[in-house]
Chains A and B, each alone.
Chain A
Amino acid sequence: MADHTAAIAGVYEHPTREAPDKSTAQLHGDVAVGALEDAGLTKGDVDSYFTAGRPGRVMAMVDYLGLQGLEYVDSTDVGGTSYVSHVGHAAAAIAEGKCEVALVTMAGRPRSRSGDGGPPSGPQADFEETYGIGTVNMYALAARRHMHEYGTTAEQLAEVRVAASEHAQYNEDAMFQDPVTVEDVVESRLVSDPLHLLDCCVVSDGGGAVVVVSPEVADDLDRDCVSVLGHGEAVKHHDAGDIDLTYTGAVESGPRAFEEAGITHDDVDYASIYDSFTITVVETLEDLGFCEKGEGGEFVEGGTLRAPDGELPFNTDGGGLCNNHPANRGGMPKIIETVRQLRGEANEEVQVPDAEIGLSHGTGGSLGTRMTSTTLVLGGDR
């Protein structure tokens, strides 16, 4: 396996959180340049391209960026975790010998350009949109049911935000840099019971990019590269009425990724966990095996998630809750911060000492209806 293990050679998170004067395509261009520079590669080295979401089909972005002679493209769109999936798909394509230098870009401007709308409606639209569903109230249903079945409290959910905010204070690009308390969270206004305003992630403009390369290319680069050790995906859905809101697709994507990487959750030094809402993190931690099902609320109490000394330091950039959730798709920053940690390039105050195994976990779609979970295991051994 080691011979074919692809590596992340470059990452770039756009520093903007509000971009009224740039187009979405322009942001893609910015992050493509940033990630290639980080890797020490050029546009001419890119032989495969991966993107999803706005502003257009993958062909339109290949054209816009002027990429030439591509041998492989992938526009898998599974919502916010699309880019986490892209890294897995790129690693597989590289292992198959289909390509050697894969560029993944994402960008969007939900703050500056309202009315971007969501994805096209599926055959379920009349049975869902008719009832005034939205992102927040669908995750609120999951929180309600988790609280009902397991006794999870609003204060426990708040601990997730508190930990993220403690980390964000060291990130000068973070949208919200002030630490908050449990009281701040539970006293913020209810958006959709039982979720408060501070249980919700930020809405930000911006984007990011990743460059995934073959082991041969990685060996020739001066830059520290991070191995893609394991990848797992799963789709979980309404199941024609049998939906259970208390778990996510991570129950399947996690074991798949861990098995491919040959690790268990005990080996994980740092985790980027998709945090569209605090409940997303609590359910995901349970599903990945960091605690038993139903014990996620207790698990996050007492500073478990805080870097650098907690049992499982998470989202040291401040996460989607405090730092960045560009284009309402938070998967890309989840990859980037894990790479920073494994390179030893996270902000000094939150750098996990000797971090060797990192997790990047993405969630796309909605816990309330249908979703995709993607788990990546990354290793800083190169």
Chain B
Amino acid sequence: MSDAGAGDLPSPDVSPTPETEKYWAAAAEGRLLVMRCADCDRFYHPPRARCPDCLSENTEWVEASGEGEIYAHSVTRQMGPPYHEATPYVVAYVELEEGPRMLTNVVTDDPEALSVGQSVEVVFHETDDGEYAIPRFRPV
């Protein structure tokens, strides 16, 4: 029986770029980073060098609280590799306390019980190659 609990989900390797390496390295240390534009105060995700609003390069990494709430979620019951053996698992947008809505998984033994607006907190799963970690969320 698969139950979408922590540890049942695949943790495929990621391919960091010069723009994203800090994000994945921080995740490996158990820290979730978001980006903020110092010029227009916009918080955003995924990371990129220039602000997606004003295109300023005056952007910075901010450590997120790791708390948020479910914006939308789906219990996926059919998927190809590498997730084929992980079904049912939960894909979701989590709205971070800092603002951005982040695509992620919610790990839980009871996916049917999740609801929009539910509070969640970040957890980290080491990638297969041991180099980085994947931020996911679990109900608080």
Contact = CB atoms under 8 A, between A and B. Distances in A.
B46 A124 contact: yes
A101 to B, nearest CB: 41
B10 A132 contact: yes
B12 A192 contact: no
A140 B93 CA distance: 11
A245 B93 contact: yes
Contact of B75 (A190, A243, A245): A190
B45 A240 contact: yes
B6 interface: no
Given A132-B9, A132-B10, A241 B102 contact: yes
B17 A123 contact: yes
B78 A192 contact: yes
B44 A193 contact: no
Given A123-B48, A127-B46, A241-B100, A144 B73 contact: yes
Contacts of B20: 126
Contacts of B76: 132, 134, 136-137, 140, 191-192
Interface in A109-160: 123-134, 136-138, 140-142, 144-145, 148
- Which range holds the interface residue count of chain A? 35 or more
Interface in A276-298: none
A192 B45 contact: no
Interface in B1-27: 9-10, 12, 14-17, 19-20, 24
A141 B12 contact: no
A242 interface: yes
Given A241-B45, A243-B101, A130 B75 contact: no
A179 interface: no
Contacts of B24: 126
A242 to B, nearest CB: 7
Contact of B100 (A133, A148, A189, A242): A242
B78 A130 contact: no
Given A126-B14, A148-B116, A192 B86 contact: no
Interface residues of B, number: 47
B134 A141 contact: no
A226 B77 CA distance: 44
Given A133-B91, A137-B91, A241 B75 contact: no
Given A126-B16, A132-B9, A241-B44, A145 B116 contact: yes
A231 to B, nearest CB: 28
Nearest to A142: B72
A133 B73 contact: no
A144 B72 contact: yes
A303 interface: no
A278 to B, nearest CB: 15
A194 interface: yes
A239 interface: yes
Contact of B91 (A131, A142, A145, A191): A131
A126 B74 CA distance: 20
Contacts of A245: 71-72, 93
A189 B87 CA distance: 14
B111 to A, nearest CB: 8
Nearest to B87: A132
Interface of B: 9-10, 12, 14-17, 19-20, 24, 42-46, 48, 52-53, 71-80, 82-83, 86, 89, 91-93, 96, 99-105, 116-117, 134, 136
Given A190-B77, A191-B76, A242-B100, 7 more contacts: A123-B17, A132-B10, A136-B78, A144-B74, A190-B75, A192-B78, A193-B77
Please name the 10 residue pairs, one residue from A and one from B, whose CB atoms are nearest each other, closest first: A241-B100, A140-B74, A240-B44, A132-B83, A240-B52, A127-B46, A145-B72, A141-B72, A126-B14, A193-B75
17 contacts: A124-B46, A128-B103, A132-B105, A133-B103, A134-B79, A137-B74, A140-B76, A141-B92, A191-B77, A192-B76, A192-B91, A238-B103, A240-B48, A240-B52, A242-B99, A243-B101, A368-B103
